[in-house]
Every structure is written in structure tokens, then in C-alpha cells.
């Protein structure tokens, strides 16, 4: 049986580096906050209410760029990201009682631009 060796660098999956709770950019890449797909409806609604009490969530209102798809997880992700971006992209600003997920891929779509 042949021995298989691999370099650690091949297994790096772009995990963000943490420094005092603030996400640092990985190779200059920005981070965003999104709702975990496993989040229940009550958590998503609470996240929208919380985030939108601190940031302007007009973009998820009917007729606005991020209203469609008209789903709770979409609206929560947009609101959570607005809050996360407005508060310095700190790890704790995307926690939302364990229902937030920091992502490295820009979740923007169509005219809905995640800042």
C-alpha cells in the first residue's frame, strides 16, 4: 500500500482569519453575513426585526431590489448582512444566536447588491 502525503496548503478551505473577533480579509477578499439554511422561521423573523431596528432595511420592502425572492431566508440574509456590514464585520455581528453564517462568496444577485 502506497503512503499518501499531502501538503497542508491543499486542504485550506479559505477559512477567515480571526484577530480579536474581527474578520480579516483573506487575500483581500471581503466577507458577508447570511442566514443559515437550517434556521427556523422564528429565528429568521427575530433576525430581521433586530437588524432592521438598527439599519435601514428598505431594500427588502416590496418593490425594492432585494424583495424577490419573497422568502423569509432571503429577507433575513439581506437584513443580517446590512447589520454585519454597518457594524464593522465583527464575528459577533453575524452570530444572531447561532443562526448567522459568514460567507466568502458575494451573495448579490440581479439588482440586489450586498454591500
Chain centroid, CA 77 distance in Å:
7
Residues 43 and 101: beta-carbon distance below 8 Å:
no
Identify the H or E element spanning 102. strand 100-103
Q: What total of structural domains would you count in the chain?
A: 1
Domain that holds residue 57: 40-115
In a domain, 89, yes or no: yes
| Residues 94-114: tens digit of each pLDDT | 999 999 999 999 999 999 999
In a domain, 5, yes or no: no
Neighbours of 43 (CB within 10 A): 19
In a domain, 20, yes or no: no
Global pTM?
0.77
| Residues 33-77: tens digit of each pLDDT | 999 999 999 999 999 999 999 999 999 999 999 999 999 999 999
Amino acid at each position: 500500500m502506497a503512503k499518501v502525503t499531502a501538503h497542508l496548503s491543499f486542504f485550506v478551505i479559505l477559512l477567515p482569519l480571526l484577530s480579536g473577533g474581527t474578520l480579516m480579509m483573506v487575500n483581500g477578499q471581503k466577507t458577508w453575513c447570511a442566514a443559515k439554511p437550517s434556521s427556523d422561521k422564528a429565528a429568521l423573523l427575530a433576525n430581521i426585526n433586530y437588524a432592521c431596528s438598527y439599519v435601514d432595511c428598505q431594500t427588502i420592502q416590496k418593490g425594492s431590489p432585494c424583495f424577490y425572492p419573497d422568502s423569509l431566508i432571503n429577507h433575513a440574509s439581506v437584513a443580517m448582512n446590512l447589520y454585519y456590514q454597518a457594524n464593522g464585520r465583527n464575528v459577533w455581528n453575524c452570530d444572531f444566536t447561532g443562526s448567522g453564517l459568514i460567507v466568502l462568496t458575494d451573495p448579490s444577485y440581479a439588482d440586489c447588491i450586498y454591500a
